Structure 1
């Protein structure tokens, strides 16, 4: 079965669909990532954070997750995340630092 929402890694086009799944802090982060204020490095950091949280590297075309699509898979993972919104924001900030400290990116 082919799903047009399935990519190799979580796509930036799916970020708007993560809004409203958690509290106001999470929504502010989503809004920022989608705004013109966010740099490409910040967007990459967000995508990398989602890839790690969701486990995109373990997904393949025959998996149940791939059949559902990236958006639904990420939505489910974000909804089920047991930490607080601040934990997700801290994780994003840590990933952003990792990206900024890597001279091969950006």
Structure 2
């Protein structure tokens, strides 16, 4: 069964749907990232973080995750995340460092 909300990896269009799922620290992070351009290090880092949290690399078209769609999968994973909002921000900061080191060396 095909779901039009399913992408190859976590799509940037789904970022906004995650804002209200956790506390103020998380909401501030999501809102900051949404305001950045699609090709910014901040958006790229957020996508990398979500790809890791959601397990996008192991997802395939026949999986339960894919049948639900990327936004629903991401929302479920953020709701179920066992760490704190600060832990999520730390993961984002690590992804941002990795992203800048790999893709934005001249920035």
TM normalised by structure 2 equals 0.93
Tell me how far 1:36 sits from its aligned partner: 3.9
Paired residues, number: 104
The answer to whether the 8 Å contact 2:37/2:43 transfers is no
Alignment match, 1:93: 93
Alpha-carbon distance between aligned partners in 1 of 2:68 and 2:39, rounded to the nearest angstrom? 30
Pairwise CA RMSD:
1.4
Tell me how far 1:101 sits from its aligned partner: 1.1
Alpha-carbon distance between aligned partners in 1 of 2:39 and 2:66, rounded to the nearest angstrom? 29
Q: Name the CA shift for 1:37/1:67 in 2 (closer, same or farther; >3 Å).
A: closer
The answer to whether the 8 Å contact 2:36/2:42 transfers is no
Pairing 1:52-67 to 2, within 5 Å after superposition:
52-67=52-67
Alpha-carbon distance between aligned partners in 1 of 2:92 and 2:13, rounded to the nearest angstrom? 18
| Greater helix content | 2
CA offsets per residue over residues 16-45 of structure 1, 9 Å max, x none?
Answer: 100110000000001000114786111000
